[in-house]
Structure 1
Amino acid sequence: MVTSVLTTALSVIENMSPGEGEGSKADATSVILKISERLVSALVEPMKTQSIKTVKTPTMEIYVHIIGPEGNISKIPALKCRGNTMAINLPAIAKNNNGSAAAVLMSASGMEKLMSPSFFRTENVTEMYSEIITATLPKINNTELPEPVDFTIQHKKKFQAGLVTCVYWEDKGKEKHWSVEGCTASFSNETHTVCSCTHLSTFAILLQTEEQDVNEDDPLLEWINLVCMCVGLAFLALAILSFLFCSWNPKINNIARLHLSICLFLAQLLFLVGVSRTENTVVCAVIAGMLHFLFLSSFVWMLLETVQLFLLVRSLTKIQVIQREGLRAWYLLLIGYGAPMVVVGVSVGVFSDGYGNKEQCWLEKDKNFQWSFIGPVCSILTLNLLSFCVIIWSLRPTLANMKSDVSQAKDTRLIIFKIVAQFFILGCAWILGFFQSTTVLKYLFILLNSQQGTFIFIVHCFLNKEVREEYRSWLSCLCKAEGPSQSSSSTCVSMAHN
């Protein structure tokens, strides 16, 4: 009888129009709470010793603990309901009520539709962070609590940064709202919060976060991002083709630079077409994992290029001709792709739900999971910066003793300039990404981050005299290809391979 009436009342809640005003919802809440308190009191029967009753349905759960005059109980009982518990000194209450007392803890689905966080007075953004529970002392004359009651309330959402607040439903006639008076959060972690309250009522946990004045849907920002990304991808493609097919100075090792460009190209292309594909959670998680791997690989390849530069500088300090030195190709491939794969694999094992969310296919902020990317990136940037300082300091006396017209010194200066420029181009773009607090920084981040391919092409390809000459050869071949002469086309092929 009790559960059937409450279920009917809750079904009325489910069928309420979303457009109902807050006043109507508050009134409906008061009616439901009064009905539920009267109905659960029917479950309390006179007992000589003690009794525990539980009622469970798909929509509600009720836990009743009754103590009689002959109930020899000294331990404070814990009432449990849907993973939530209430520790109340029921024996002390019984002493003040002729040896008898009863406590009820109840939770019903659908109450949050009426008792929404909008009834809480605050300037912050609020959301319901737990189920709503009701605690009462039915059929008791003296309801004064001898000591505060502790409620351990489970969180119903993943951990989020914000202010966890214990609230109760305060009903003062026409004025009804969530209040914090008499309730404090004594402990809170990622899974639950302990609320200590000096009275019984209907309780919940609210999460308060600061309101962010950010225009998420900025058409101009999205349009600029699309155009800049397409331009950057085009220049990245040209850089990759140049590294693959152009004839380079034998002193230059382009393996790290080539794979850096490939990883950046794939990462930015996947980001452009896949970061908003949130319809399928599995596909979104795979896209986020691939982005994590590709962007980390880009930074690892940038670090490997610094290692190559260090080996080059070491040969220079020995006053010998610069040769194509460095790690072997398969060592570079193993480190360049193996290290990011290990980081992603460990991240998946530690927090498999950290990839993808309803907003975008990237890393979750829950449990600080974004540090699985930020941490390695900051470490690589710091290591690169320190390496450059060591390299430049060790080169200072060597370059000072060289004549300016010595080709070895010129080559070394040019290589150092290009790689240092590349470091600041790639590093500064991501550093700005960590501090997008203003609109100006957002536009600057999009501009620098999307044009990484353009900078790589200009620094390593366009500013290279040999590559420019090969571009001229290709262009002349394209012009001659318009003629029917077979000899011109064969000449073009031979020039392209030189």
Structure 2
Amino acid sequence: MKGGMADRLKMGVFIIMLLSVAASDEHDLFLEFCGKWRHDNSNLSLNISVSKGCSGITVSANESSLSVKGSVTAKCKRMEVIPLMKYPEEDLDFCLYWEPLLDQLTLEVEKESFILCPPSSPAENCCTDLSLMGIELDSRYGIADARVRTDNVTHKTRSSYSFQGEITNCKKLCDQANQTYVKGSQNTQHPCAQKFVKEIKKAISDEKVSLKDTPTVSIPSTMKTKMKVENKVSVTFFKNNSLFQVGYEEVQLLNDVVEITVENEVIANLTEPISIDFHHNLLPWNYKRKCVSWDTLKDPLKVNWLVDGCMTKRKGAKHTVCECDHLTYFSVLVQMELKPVRHLLALSAISSVGCATSFISCVAVIIFFCRNRRRSKEQSITIHMGLAVSLAVLSLFFFFTGVLGNVEVESMCSWVGAMLHYALLSSLTWMGIEVFNTFWMVYMVFRPSPRPFVWLLIGFGLPAVPVAILSRVGNIYGVVEIVPADDISTPYRMCWMNMSDQKTILAASFTTMTMLVILVFSGVIMLFLVYREIRTRDEWKQSRVAFLSIWGLSCLFGTTWGLIFLNFSPLADFYNFLFCFLNSFQGFFLMVRFCMLDWIRRQASKSVLGSTSSGSVKQHMLQTTEKS
């Protein structure tokens, strides 16, 4: 008896609190009623009976159905029984949301939302201040652990809860909502929807609709031919309505949602599309954007955004244009382009070992050429040493970039990213010089090649120009996160170019990618020309010489970097491993090539004395090339 008396006392105090809030100047802008639905695991269903008015709403439950009945809406009317499938046998969590400023009623059952009344623009009067007025007695089946917003009502199981509303001027509610929204309160998630109504007559030009801080809608003049009678076109702009969201963290909508309708008509298959111009906050360039629409006729109970009938035009990081051939709700779906990398740990291990080995190998190559430079007058030694130095610097910076990327100093990573970019451009430039030098030796035999200081100026000076310009622009170099496919919560951090906006993508394309494309194609062409030139010689018949020639020239000409363009399914993993292995160990392969060719040359010198002391350069192209 004492427990029942205490429950009734708490209930009375709770109802008095709700009534006092409703009687105050501040109106309750929305209703959130939640609880647990206890049922008997039979065929479950939702029983919906919603009509226009403001007499109130009742939420009840029994062993097989959860019912929402009453009149609270301004425009919506729905009577329907919705079967529920694929739910667990235990109690079901549910919440009923009423948004008077949107005339929207939503029921959420086990995180699945059912749009009982779709959002619309505010009417003249709104049904708000829904107060708890009645609770049925205890029941075996019904609603348990009921709460209104964050206030608990009772933990006992009741068969039904009744709420009574009051008619309030919608403009007054809108003013209150906008004030609350400006203050940053969490009581509401949106200001009022803004509606524009235009009567379409025999227009000879497109109609443009735009309100303050809203997208711009262009209605084509040809839409008149799709209308049966002269009706009014309604354009409603919604802001920050979380109930439009799709429910996935990696995919989100813009804040703006636009509804375009014609009274009592369905407009589709327009010959000239509707254009909706969205201006939004800065979106990283690698985030996919898709113009989407919600077809309420196909799926009226759930928000289902589809790309059908819409075309997306990206006009910049803050501007997206949608062109659609029908009328309904429209927005822009933003997909965060994480691009998780498979086998990232293994690839990182191969890169680290390869870069460390290449650095040591390049240092050995530099020492080898420094010793031979005194007794050899070959100008190609300068080119080989330049390539070895640039590869050594590239391997060193890439080896430490993962460590420095986790240092909490942004300026440090910006500096390392710029140096890594410079080393990469310098390496590609020296490979291009190798291509040009080989071309000169094969086809310009009787003309002296440019002096060594020219190659040094080009190989080390030219790459510094774009890096200096990009560093001056700012926000190009920094920390980059690479997401592993097996654990997206722990990304791999490194210092590189921050691929987050358009200017960085353009910088990477016009520097690294452009040079890489030119290098790979010119390297392949030159490799073919060299092969055609020396394949008939006696030295070429030695298989090891042929193999080392092709393999070494492939490394010198940068053709192994061409594997980056083959990164697509179904062999993407294979190409990733092959690309990582060949290019991280590139310095080691060059050392092996030069050492083996030096050993072969020494063996040949012992067997045929003076074989390389006479004859033209073109006649001994293979020996000259391998020697250099």
TM-score bracket, shorter-length normalisation: 0.5 to 0.7
Q: Deviations along 1:191-216, whole A, 9 cap, x unmatched?
A: 31324364444x3222579997x653
Identity %: 18
- Say if 2:307 is the partner of 1:168: no
Aligned counterpart in structure 1 of residue 561 of structure 2, from 430, 441, 452: 430
1:443 matched to 2:571? The reply is no
**Take 1:195 and 1:126, find their aligned partners in 2: how far apart are those partners?**
24
Is the CA contact 1:118–1:126 (under 8 Å) kept in the aligned structure 2?
no
1:382 matched to 2:382? The reply is no
2:49 aligned residue: none
The question of whether the paired residues in 2 share the 8 Å contact of 1:317 and 1:395 is answered with no
Could you tell me how far 1:391 is from its partner in structure 2? 5.3
* Partner of residue 478, structure 1: none
Q: 2:383 aligns with which of 256, 268, 279?
A: 256
Larger Rg: 2
Structure 2 letter corresponding to 1:194: C
2:454 equivalent to 1:331 = yes
2:593 alignment partner in structure 1: 459
Letter of the structure 1 residue corresponding to residue 257 of structure 2:
I
SS in 2 for 1:444: helix
Measured after TM superposition, the shift of residue 444 of structure 1 is 1.9
Contact persistence 1:64–1:79 (CA under 8 A): no
**Which residue of the other structure, out of 321, 324, 329, is the alignment partner of 1:193?**
321
Partner of 2:610: none
Specify which structure has the higher proportion of helix: 1
Tell me the amino acid that sits aligned with residue 378 of structure 1.
V
Q: Report if aligned partners of 2:291, 2:312 keep a CA contact under 8 Å in 1.
A: no
Is contact 1:61–1:82 with CA below 8 Å preserved after alignment?
A: no
* Mapped contact 2:210–2:217 kept (Cα < 8 A): yes
> Which runs of structure 2 are paired with 1:74-93 in the superposition (5 Å)?
76-80=207-211, 82=213, 84-87=215-218
Q: List per-residue Cα deviations over 1:51-79 (Å, max 9, x = no partner).
A: xxxx79656575444679xxxxx983412
User: For 1:439 and 1:43, how far apart are their aligned partners in 2?
Assistant: 59
Residues 159-308 of structure 1: matches in 2 within 5 Å? Answer: 159-160=285-286, 164-168=290-294, 170=296, 175-180=301-306, 184-186=309-311, 188-190=313-315, 191-196=319-324, 198-201=326-329, 203-206=330-333, 216-245=342-371, 248-253=374-379, 254-274=381-401, 277=405, 284=413, 286-308=415-437
**Retained in 2: the 8 A contact 1:86–1:152?**
yes
Structure 2 SS opposite 1:260: helix
Q: What is the CA deviation profile of residues 334-367 of structure 1, one whole-angstrom value per residue up to 9, with x for unaligned ones?
A: 2113333345567779996587644354453976
Contact 2:206 2:219 (8 Å CA) reproduced: no
Q: TM-score, normalised by structure 1?
A: 0.62
Q: What residue identity is the alignment partner of 2:389? A: I
- Counterparts in 2 of 1:129 and 1:270: CA distance versus 1, 3 Å: farther
Tell me the distance in 1 between the aligned counterparts of 2:230 and 2:362: 80
Contact 1:308–1:327 (CA<8 Å) still a contact in 2?
Answer: no
1:424, distance to aligned residue in structure 2 (A): 0.8
CA deviation map 1:154-195 (0-9, x unaligned)? 4652444868342227499994131439x6214523431324
Give the counterpart letter for 1:301 in structure 2: W
Which stretch shows the higher mean deviation, 351-360 or 375-384? 351-360
The alpha-carbon distance between structure 1 residues 273 and 29, as it changes in their structure 2 partners (threshold 3 A), is: farther
Give unmatched runs, 5+ long, in structure 1: 13-18, 46-54, 69-73, 120-124, 319-324, 469-498
**What TM-score results when the alignment is normalised by the length of structure 2?**
0.51
**Residue 371 in 1 paired to residue 509 in 2?**
yes
Q: How does 1:448-487 map to 2 (within 5 A)?
A: 448-461=582-595, 463-465=597-599
Corresponding residue of 1:496? none
Distance 1:199 1:193, change over 3 A: same
- Aligned to 2:237, what secondary structure does the other structure show? strand
Structure with the bigger RCO (C-alpha within 8 Å, sep 6+) is 1
